[in-house]
């Protein structure tokens, strides 16, 4: 028999062991580890309601895996976007998890740098800056908790951070403009920022033509990525339905 706990209620912007929101889950793991030799964890590593949205949990992955190992967990399932390709930094997140599950002390910065250099080439620098930007905010704000159902109106996705990220993605695209393979990858990595701009824009305030352009760019990258769902729910998540809904909101008069 194996006892399996799941981390569904936890905060993932901060490591399990150090965030106040996670106290009861941490107590559960520690308690079970004392009386059970076969302890397993079903862990969550993406946002399930907005799966194409910046989800700055990359720096929590390693301390969480270390925490599980230190507390006698012998089996870890990291549930990510099993329902579609093309979600936020899916390849990078998988790389970090694979490296860290193999070696629980694997340095996350090293994993990020080696993946960005290999996968995005000359665009690695600005991509690293946008990843750092999102993660610094949740690191600096110990009260900005992020669950697997966080929204695009979350404080770490404020206008200033998104505007800064847009500039960094412009630089990233420019760096690989003559390399169609890497340009496609950078454009897919850019979708989360486009997604936030599309869903948080308010009619009457945002420029409708700009938002329509963002929706078209998002769709082109989403189709290129093979993305079929923007969230886990089979009906609500359907990409084509979601596109029709946002286009109806921003249609030309
Ligand atoms: Zn937290």
- Please tell me the distance between residue 15's alpha carbon and the centre of ligand 1 in angstroms: 7
pLDDT digits (tens, 9 = 90+) for 163-195: 999 999 999 999 999 999 999 999 999 999 999
Residue 160 sits in which domain range? 3-249
Q: Would you say 12 and 148 are in contact if contact means Cβ atoms under 8 Å apart?
A: yes
> What pLDDT, on the 0 to 100 scale, is given for residue 33?
97
Output the pLDDT for position 1.
Answer: 87
Long-range contacts of 125-131 (CB under 8 A, 24+ apart): 125/171, 125/175, 126/168, 126/169, 126/171, 126/172, 126/175, 127/168, 127/172, 127/186, 127/189, 129/168, 130/164, 130/165, 130/168, 130/169, 130/172, 130/193, 131/56, 131/58, 131/89
Q: Residue 181, class by beta-carbon neighbours within 10 Å (0-12 exposed, 13-18 middle, 19+ buried)?
A: exposed
Question: What spacing in Å lies between the alpha carbon of 8 and ligand 1's midpoint?
Answer: 13
Describe the strand order of the beta sheet including 39-44 as a list of residue ranges: 3-6, 39-44, 73-79
Q: What is the pLDDT of residue 252?
A: 86
Cβ-based neighbour number of residue 136 at 10 Å: 14
Ligand 1 centre and the CA of 213: distance in Å? 35
- Residue 56 Cα to ligand 1 midpoint, Å, equals 11
Rounded to the nearest angstrom, the distance between the alpha carbon of 19 and the centre of ligand 1 is: 5
Q: What are phi and psi of 205, to 5 degrees?
A: -105, -50
State in Å: Cα 143 to ligand 1 middle.
6
Q: What is the DSSP letter of 74?
A: E
Q: What is the pTM of this model?
A: 0.97
Determine the pLDDT at residue 65.
Answer: 98
Q: So what's the pLDDT on residue 3?
A: 97
Looking at the structure of the chain, the number of domains it has is 1
Is the dihedral angle over the CA atoms 239, 244, 246, 247 positive or is it negative?
positive
Residue stretches of the chain with pLDDT short of 70: none
For 44, phi then psi, to 5°, come to -120, 135
Q: How far apart are CA 9 and CA 252, in angstroms?
A: 41
CB-based neighbours (< 5 A) of ligand 1, an ion = 11, 14, 19, 21, 145
Distance 98 CA to ligand 1 centre (A): 24
Q: Are 126 and 99 in contact (CB under 8 A)?
A: no
What count of Cα atoms within 13 Å lies in the side-chain half-sphere of residue 39?
20
């Amino acid at each position: 028999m194996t006892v399996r706990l799941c981390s569904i209620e936890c905060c993932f912007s901060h490591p399990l062991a150090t965030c106040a929101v996670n106290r009861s889950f941490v107590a559960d793991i520690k308690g079970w580890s004392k009386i059970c030799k076969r302890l397993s964890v079903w862990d969550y590593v993406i946002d399930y309601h907005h799966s194409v949205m910046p989800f700055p949990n990359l720096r929590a992955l390693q301390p969480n895996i270390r925490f599980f190992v230190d507390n006698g967990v012998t089996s870890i399932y990291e549930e990510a976007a099993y329902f579609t390709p093309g979600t936020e930094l899916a390849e990078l997140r998988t790389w970090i998890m694979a490296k860290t599950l193999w070696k629980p002390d694997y340095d996350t910065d090293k994993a990020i740098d080696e993946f960005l250099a290999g996968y995005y080439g000359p665009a690695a620098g600005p991509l690293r800056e946008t990843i750092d930007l999102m993660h610094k905010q949740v690191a600096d704000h110990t009260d900005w908790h992020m669950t697997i159902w966080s929204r695009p109106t979350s404080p770490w996705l404020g206008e200033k951070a998104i505007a800064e990220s847009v500039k960094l993605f412009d630089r990233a695209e420019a760096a690989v403009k003559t390399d169609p393979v890497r340009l496609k990858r950078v454009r897919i990595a850019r979708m989360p920022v486009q997604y936030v701009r599309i869903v948080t824009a308010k009619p009457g305030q945002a420029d409708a033509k700009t938002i329509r352009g963002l929706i078209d760019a998002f769709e082109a990258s989403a189709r290129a990525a093979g993305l079929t769902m923007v969230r886990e729910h089979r009906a609500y998540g359907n990409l084509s339905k979601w596109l029709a809904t946002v286009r109806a909101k921003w249609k030309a008069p």
